[in-house]
């Protein structure tokens, strides 16, 4: 007897296909994705901390969260620009994109450090 296709099976199938497709992406993009995930997790941990102890030095909380979020955003921008399949940025050398990423991060972190208090 053939088992009817359950939602669970569909989810499994979707997950596996996604995983296999993802493994095809170039390594540098995976590094960037990993970096983004790391930043987001750090932000989540900070939010959880604030939820527990209260938002007393609110500026510190904001700067912490915003640094994570900002760096994640910049990393996403870098990924877009570096991705070879992206036709829009074909002519942009990845080194240039990386230089932009570094510069923007430095500016972001200066602001964050000032706001950290």
Partner 1 sequence: MRHNSSQLGYKVQSASIEGRGVKLEIARSTVLKPIGDDSSSHFRLVSSPAIKFEMTRKLGFAFLLLAAASICEAAAIFSPISEAHRSAALELFSPAAGTFSSLEEATEALRTFEVLGIEIESDLKDSTCKSAVDALSSGSPNSKDLYYALRVSSVLQCKISDGALTGVALRLKDFVKDAKSLLDFYYSIGGLVLIKDQTSEVDVLLDDADGIFRSVKDLSQSDGKWRYSSNNPESSTYAAGIALETLSGVITLKSSDIDGNLIDALKRDVVKLFDNIDKYDDGAYYFDDRFVDASGHQGPVSATSSVARGLTTLASTSGSLNIPGDKILGLARFFLGIGVPGTGKDLYYQIDALASLDQSRVLVPLILSLQASVLSISSQDKLKVKVTTVLGSTGPPLSVKLMQVFSSGSKDASIINQELKFDPKEAVHVLDALPVGVDVGEYVFAFEIVLSDPEHKKIYVTGGRTKVPVYVTGVVKVENSKVEVLESDSVETQQKLDLPGKNDVALTANHLQKLRLSFQLTTPLQNPFKPHQALLKLRHESGVEHSFVVNSGKLFETTLDFLGLVENFFYLSGKYDMELTVGDPAMENSFLQPLGHIELDLPDAPEKYGPKPEIAHIFRLQEKRPPQELSYAFLGLVFVPFLAFLVGLLRLGVNMKNFPTSMIPAAFAILFHGGIAAVLGLYGLFWLKLDLFTTLKTLGVLGLFLMFVGHRTLSHLASASAKVKSA
Q: Binding partner 1 by CB under 8 A: which of 9, 13, 17, 54? A: 54
Distant-in-sequence, close-in-space partners of 33: CB < 8 Å, separation ≥ 6: 25, 79
In the structure encoding, which two tokens stand for residue 89, read together? 């940025």
- Which is nearer to partner 1, 13 or 49 (by Cβ)? 49
Distant-in-sequence, close-in-space partners of 78: CB < 8 Å, separation ≥ 6: 32, 97, 98, 100, 101
Task: Note whether 20 binds partner 1 by CB under 8 A.
Answer: no
User: Given the rule CB under 8 A, which residues bind partner 1?
Assistant: 27, 30-31, 34-35, 37-39, 41-42, 45-46, 48-49, 52-54, 56, 93-96, 98-99, 102, 106, 109-110, 113-114, 116
């Amino acid at each position: 007897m053939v088992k009817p296709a359950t939602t669970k099976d569909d989810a499994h199938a979707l997950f596996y296909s996604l995983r296999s497709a993802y493994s095809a992406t170039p390594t540098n993009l995976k590094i960037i994705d990993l970096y983004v995930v790391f930043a987001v997790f750090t932000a989540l941990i900070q939010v959880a901390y604030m939820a527990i102890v209260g938002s007393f030095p609110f500026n510190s909380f904001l700067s912490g969260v915003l640094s994570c979020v900002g760096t994640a955003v910049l990393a996403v921008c870098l990924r877009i620009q570096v991705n070879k399949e992206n036709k829009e940025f074909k002519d942009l050398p990845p080194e240039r994109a990386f230089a932009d990423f570094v510069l923007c991060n430095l500016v972001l972190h200066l602001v964050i450090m000032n706001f950290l208090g």
